[in-house]
Amino acid sequence: MRKTISKYEMLGPRDRIMVAVSGGKDSVTLLHILAKIEKAFPDVVLCAGTVDEGIRDYRDEALKIAEENCRKLGVEHRVTSFKELFGYELDEIVELARNKGLSGLTPCSYCGVLRRKALNSLAREAGVDKLVVAHSLDDETQTMLLNIVHGDPLRLARSKPVLDVIHPKLVQRVKPLCMVPEKEVVLYAYLKGIEFQSITCPYAQTALRNDIRTMLNRMEHKHAGTLFTVFHSIEKIRPALEAYAKEVELKDCRACGEPTVGDLCRSCQMLEQLGIL
Ligand code: SF4
Ligand code: ZN
């Protein structure tokens, strides 16, 4: 991971950093590793941020685990929730979508868009320079294939190990685990006795990502190195995609004021569709 951080110049010796900690294995392990590295850099300020989406029988436990790990490491922990920011928990949003017959979006579609916005707000309020997310090699390759399956290959140009700073309201995201396979993260966590949440989200089965994960895991099992090959192939074609992709001009969302390409940002579009904007 240190090599990835220096290869992409992800973090600097005086950065203020927020680690997005869900309570799952990747994010908790990443927090432990960064807390260890941070000791050698006294000017770095490290904190953690968690978003409570409001998922019954799942997120409460994860939140406790995230809190407990932050306490042990002496890292400041900030928490926000969908309820606080949007007025509704994810469970309520899923129920509303079902009642309205909105079958086009899965719970993960709502969750992903709203959490992204929530994390950015949390990081911005904390005044950090970098928002560190725990996307492993597995997550990154799944996202790459998902972009293709969704018919949006130009997103590959934007979704990279260090995201470009495209607006002052958007905190720069970096992904130090992007070249670390998930099984190595788990192995490290077990060896170090790191406590993380092991149950999976009740909505995970509904996501297309789940099918992509299964396919990639089968490929990796049969043809070791598949994940790295996919990752490096996209790295190779990304400069061409970046040159092809038009620069987007961001304006303020008319409802929430966050940066967006259209009139309404994606999360406000979703809330409007649900009748709760
Ligand atoms: Fe959200 Fe889907 Fe992840 Fe559950 S599996 S936390 S609904 S993105
Ligand atoms: Zn908005």
The alpha carbon of 164 and the centre of ligand 1 are apart by a number of angstroms equal to: 25
Number of other residues whose CB lies within 10 A of the CB of residue 137:
23
pLDDT of 129 = 96
Q: What are phi and psi of 159, to 5 degrees?
A: -85, 85
Kindly state if the Cβ of 111 falls inside 6 Å of ligand 1: yes
Rounded Cα–Cα distance for residues 270 and 175 (Å): 27
Distance CA 21, CA 151 (A): 30
Largest CA distance in the chain: 54
Q: How far is the CA of 110 from the centre of ligand 2 (A)?
A: 14
Tens digit of each residue's pLDDT, the chain (277 residues): 888 999 999 999 999 999 999 999 999 999 999 999 999 999 999 999 999 999 999 999 999 999 999 999 999 999 999 999 999 999 999 999 999 998 788 999 999 999 999 999 999 999 999 999 999 999 999 999 999 998 988 889 888 999 998 899 999 999 999 999 999 999 999 999 999 998 999 998 877 889 999 999 999 999 999 999 999 999 999 999 988 887 788 999 999 999 999 999 999 999 999 999 9
CA angle 9, 10, 14 (to 5 degrees): 95
Q: What is the pLDDT of residue 89?
A: 97
pLDDT for the residue 160: 92
Q: How far apart are CA 87 and CA 185, in angstroms?
A: 35
In Å, how far from its chain's centre is CA 254? 25
Count Cβ atoms within 10 A of the Cβ of residue 271 and give its class: 0-12 exposed, 13-18 middle, 19 or more buried.
buried
Angle (nearest 5°) at CA 212 between 207 and 216: 150
Backbone phi, psi, residue 79, to 5°: -130, 140
The residues facing 49 across adjacent strands are 20, 78
* Interatomic CA distance for residues 195 and 178, integer angstroms: 22
Buried b (16+ CB within 10 A) or exposed e, 104-134: eebbbbbbebbbbbbbbbbbbebebbbbbbb
Q: Say if ligand 1 is within 6 A of residue 259 CB.
A: no
Q: Which ligand is nearest to the CA of 258?
A: 2
Q: Closest residue (by CA) to atom 7 of ligand 1?
A: 108
Closest protein CA for atom 4 of ligand 1: 201
